[in-house]
Amino acid sequence: MIRELKRRVCEANRALEERGLVVLTWGNISGIDRASGLVVIKPSGVAYRCLAPDDMVVVGLDGRTIEGRLRPSSDLPAHLELYRCFPETGGITHTHSPNATAFAQACRPIPCMGTTHADYFRGPVPVTRPLSGPAIEAGYELNTGRAIVERFAGLDPMSVPAVLVAHHGPFTWGRTPEEALENCVALEAVAGIALATAAIEPGAGDIPSNLMEKHFLRKHGRGAYYGQNQQPT
């Protein structure tokens, strides 16, 4: 099970570069085996094209390294906090993709302006509060995760599987590492569309709520009929 998860997490990390979501080593993907409570994550600072499954680092939810010769991503504590607090999550992605990061640096949520956004995110993609000085100085990565969890108080993280960390960048998640990657691709695309829309029409508003609900639920709701895995109801 862990060997297969290492392969999948490795492939997902390599895909970040292939999809144009990262430059240098600006991002990482992890996955969790809920049965064992073990997390697999990219090693810190290793070029994506050089990654092999055996380079992945296996850790417990307490952060203790179980397997691996390399140091795990420095963002590991944030990933672990999300796994502990979002129990349906099976994979997490963090990048500095340009469009989504522009919103994060501006400390602005990504508005839900059209159906493209609503196909993946049931409303605006929120932004966290900026971290305080003490939270930056001690336990920075863990406190990043805590700020994300705090921002989702009263929200369903599986309906809006993404967040912008203020002054930093985006995190996305899903039920698998592959789904987390897909949501990362979608997030960067809708962030770019929102920026272009605002440039064309600065006064453009949010999508009507009934249209947003229709597009999200036809793909993710109980009676979903988008794609080939389910039959129309």
Q: What is the dihedral of CA 101, 105, 111, 116, to 10 degrees?
A: -10
Q: Which of 9, 49, 4, 55 is nearest to 31 (CA)?
A: 9
- For the chain, how big is the Rg over CA atoms in Å? 17
CA distance 110 to 205: 12
Q: What is the DSSP string of 83-106?
A: HHH-TT--EEEEE--HHHHHHHHH
- 226 counts as catalytic: yes
Cα gap 149→130, rounded to integer Å: 13
Which amino acid belongs to residue 39?
V
Rounded Cα gap, residues 29 and 14, in angstroms: 9
Catalytic residue among 33, 55, 119, 140: 119
What DSSP letter does each residue of 98-148 carry, written as one string? HHHHHHHHHT--B---SHHHHTT-SSPBPBPPPPPHHHHHSSHHHHHHHHH
Type of residue numbered 226: Y
N-term to C-term CA, the chain:
35
Give the whole-angstrom CA distance, residue 196 versus residue 138: 38
Q: Which of 33, 55, 140, 226 is catalytic?
A: 226
* Residues recognised as catalytic: 119, 226
